[in-house]
Amino acid sequence: MPRTIHLALHPYGVGGPGQHGLWKDSRVAKNSSIDINYYIQQAQAAEHALFDALIIVDSQFINATYPSHYLNRLEPLTLLSAVATHTRHIGLVGTASSTYNSPFNLARRFASLDHISGGRAGWNVVTSFDTGTSRNYGLDEHLDYATRYGRALESVQVARGLWDSYEDDAFPADVERNIFLDPSKLHALDHEGEHFKVAGPLNISRSPQGQPVIFQAGVSEEGRDLAAQVAEGIYAPGGSLEQAQEYYADIKTRTASYGRNPDHIKIFIHGGPIVAPTDEKARRREREIFEEDNDLDRNLGLLGRSFGAYDFSAHDLDAPFPDVAHLAEKGGRTAAAKIIERAKAENLTLRQVAESANQFRQSPFVGAPETVADTIEKWFEAGTFDGINLAFRTNDELELFVDGVVPLLQKRGLFRTEYEADTLRGNLGLPIPTNRHTNERRLANG
């Protein structure tokens, strides 16, 4: 089978990072981020266009400097359970922190979503880089990088073990023999690890796709390694074509080194396409969007997130960038380290660093429909992604992409013309994992 592009949709609501002023747009309802009908409409539009998944991101800490969407939004799994009843094919991927959740609760909630949706659930595993989250869970300090990623790996392993609690044929429900459950097909987990002790079993059967699909966003060395071990979908940083190629090749190589098939991990890069009748109009609109949010106070808030929501406004803007390296270890370490390195190398002031945090960078996926389709094809053929995680400011912009770009990709044989399956795994081309206990029995029986 030839490779084809996978597409996911990431709703903006009333505006995320780099889209702080989106709530002012007359086309955007001011309650979008807590209006379930908004998400249902987004999911249905994406499903009509044959997208693979709807992805809902999340965080559990805010302050007044955070983007408007972050200040007032629905919990992902509650949201997706509602969306599931209004869709049939599109995957439903929810973000949940392995740092601040029990793996038993996560396994049960995602398995429930998987059943509600008929096998379309995915878990975007995050380790939470907002250091303030710890105080919402009774902890004085955020866990360090090594501990967070160790918990993440073990949390996924525990969840997968719990999802195998029942073998596929565990419920004969034979009225004549008075047998609802075959007890030999029910298995406790009895897990004892570094971070978790979980007995099991889970009180919910396997779904039509076997287990929810595991997604992850790995940028750091620890993140990339975690992704290579357990992820089946990755939300990649993107960047230049060369950077995207490096990331893609690195993840696929690491995946193979763990004895996994590199084709069984789908890498999605972020894309915020801007489609207009001409390239010139699209580029003009791209610049307008940037200028709408080019505000120093917002840039300081954005900068602070990489350092655990640190308040940089307490410092002299025109003094050298302050020594905040100690905050990076428990925040967004990779991004923070790059900021510190550049500030030192170029002797930058805090103002200069804040301004560059939201520096205008042209997106490759901007232009007339033909131009955007050409660029997507070029990047795909160059080995930079398996899919694109798309974000659109308004429904109008989503429609421009769906009506203008998607048909061109279909005409070139790069995107499906109908869904291949009813499950997320099926549409992503991922295998259904065999229940480990069934597999052990088969091996034992030769």
| DSSP string for residues in 220-275 | SHHHHHHHHHH-SEEEE---SHHHHHHHHHHHHHHHHHTT--GGGSEEEEEE--EE
Q: Which domain holds residue 325?
A: 295-357
8 Å CB contact between 86 and 44: yes
Residues linked to residue 323 through DSSP beta bridges, in sequence order: none
Quick one: pLDDT at residue 331?
Answer: 59
Q: Is residue 342 part of a domain?
A: yes
Number of domain units in the chain: 2
User: With contact defined as beta carbons under 8 Å apart, do 144 and 330 qualify?
Assistant: yes
pLDDT value at residue 329:
63
Residue 284 falls inside a structural domain: no
Q: Output phi, psi for 235, to 5 deg.
A: -100, 105
What pLDDT was estimated at residue 1?
62
Instruction: Tell me whether residue 43 is exposed, middle or buried, using C-beta atoms within 10 angstroms of its C-beta: 0 to 12, 13 to 18, 19 or more.
Output: buried
Residues in the chain: 446
Asked if residues 54 and 90 have their Cβ atoms less than 8 Å apart, the reply is yes
Query: Do 332 and 373 have their domain in common?
Result: no
On whether both 248 and 316 belong to a single domain, the answer is: no
- The residues of the chain scoring below 70 in pLDDT are 1, 328-333
Question: What is the pTM (predicted TM-score) of this model?
Answer: 0.91
Handedness of CA 27, 32, 37, 39 (dihedral sign): positive
* CATH number of the domain within which 239 lies: 3.20.20.30
56-113 confidence digits (pLDDT tens): 999 898 888 888 999 999 999 999 999 999 999 999 999 999 999 999 999 999 999 9
**Domain termination residue (choose one: 333, 357, 381):** 357
